């Protein structure tokens, strides 16, 4: 489990179809490597990967076929850009963002980015399977970065976030351009709520989760 607060940036290189080498610069490696051990989980652009080997300036991790199919890892060009890195949350540690599992739901696409006086406003599209869990002022992980939904249009599967300067400067969100693909993970709480609300005994009719249902039952 992670919190969506990126600790360092690294460069990723595919060693073969399933193994990846993540290398950090000299000033970044001390942000994640000192406490890293074999078998640890690291969020790489929001994807939970297991450390297979520790290197002087990084580590090697493996990705399953399902991970490659569902995330941007399987669509990256060789040695393309930086990835966001975060080590797993320690028991008792601060949850500065939100609970991020590292289990990416799918990819989204950056539509527009606009610099304002206080932030960078970035709009993304998402598939319907992900957009159903996106709510106003709710949380979403974009390339492993915990962000708050500023605006959305559910009918078009479109949403907007405001990225503050610190987050923009310290993550690879600064490298995104319109058309860039990103990893999206919806808030796990929404998934559990949907599961519980849709649970019925075999003899009861199944009632789908909808805005009208939530209003009727006092959730909105």
Residue 79 counted as domain residue: yes
Higher local confidence (pLDDT), 189 or 170:
170
Does residue 218 fall inside a structural domain? no
CA angle 103, 108, 111 (to 5 degrees): 155
| Whether 110 and 186 share a structural domain | yes
Could you tell me the pLDDT band of residue 11, with boundaries at 50, 70 and 90?
A: very high
Whether 99 is covered by a domain: the verdict is no
Q: What is the CATH number of the domain that holds 30?
A: 2.40.30.20
In angstroms, rounded to a whole number, what is the distance separating the alpha carbons of residues 79 and 125?
26
Burial class (CB in 10 A: 0-12, 13-18, 19+), 137: exposed
Q: Is residue 220 part of a domain?
A: no
CB 156 within 8 A of CB 111: no
**Do 51 and 123 fall within a single domain?**
no
pLDDT of 73 > 70? The answer is yes
CA 210 to chain centre: 25
114 and 160 fall within a common domain: yes
What pLDDT is stored for residue 201 in this prediction? 47
Asked whether residue 206 is domain-assigned, the answer is no
Whether residues 42 and 114 share a domain: the answer is no
Q: What is the pLDDT of residue 209?
A: 62
pLDDT surpasses 80 at 77? no
CB atoms within 10 A of CB 152: 21
Domain contains 173: yes
Residue 203 pLDDT exceeds 60: no
Alpha helices (H) along the chain? 26-29, 65-70, 128-131, 165-170, 188-197, 211-216
Domain count, the chain: 2
- Domain end, chosen from 40, 55, 87, is at 87
- End residue of a domain, out of 31, 58, 87: 87
- Asked if 112 contacts 122 with a C-beta cutoff of 8 angstroms, the reply is yes
201 inside domain:
no
Task: Give me the mean pLDDT over the 136-162 stretch.
Answer: 92
Outline where 145-187 has alpha helix (H): 165-170
**Residue-number span of the structural domain to which 48 is assigned:** 8-87
For 72, residues 6+ apart whose C-beta sits below 8 A from its C-beta are 45, 107, 181, 182, 183
C-alpha distances in Å from residue 95, one per residue of 16, 64, 92, 177: 35, 28, 9, 29
Domain co-membership, 129 together with 66? no
- Interval 62-84 mean pLDDT: 85
Reported as a single tens digit per residue, the pLDDT across 96-141 is 778 899 999 999 999 999 999 999 999 999 998 899 899 899 999 9
- Would you say residue 89 has pLDDT above 90? no
**Is the same domain home to 13 and 82?**
yes
Residue 154 within a domain:
yes
């Amino acid at each position: 489990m992670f919190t969506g607060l990126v600790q360092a940036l690294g460069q990723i290189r595919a060693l073969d179809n399933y193994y990846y080498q993540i290398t950090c610069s000299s000033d970044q490696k001390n942000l994640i490597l000192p406490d890293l051990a074999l078998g640890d989980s690291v969020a790489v652009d929001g994807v939970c990967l297991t450390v297979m080997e520790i290197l002087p300036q990084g580590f090697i991790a493996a990705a399953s076929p399902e991970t490659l199919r569902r995330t941007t890892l399987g669509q990256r060009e060789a040695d393309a850009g930086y990835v966001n890195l975060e080590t797993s949350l320690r028991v008792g540690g601060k949850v500065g963002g939100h609970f991020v599992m590292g289990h990416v739901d799918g990819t989204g696409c950056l539509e527009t980015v606009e610099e304002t006086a206080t932030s960078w406003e970035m709009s993304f599209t998402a598939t319907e399977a992900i957009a159903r869990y996106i709510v106003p002022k709710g949380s979403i992980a974009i390339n492993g970065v915990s962000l708050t939904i500023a605006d959305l249009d559910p009918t078009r599967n479109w949403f907007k976030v405001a990225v503050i300067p610190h987050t923009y400067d310290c993550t690879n969100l600064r490298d995104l351009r319109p058309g860039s693909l990103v990893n999206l993970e919806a808030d796990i709480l929404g998934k559990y709520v949907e599961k519980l609300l849709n649970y019925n005994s075999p003899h009861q009719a199944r009632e789908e989760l909808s805005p009208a249902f939530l209003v009727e039952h006092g959730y909105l």
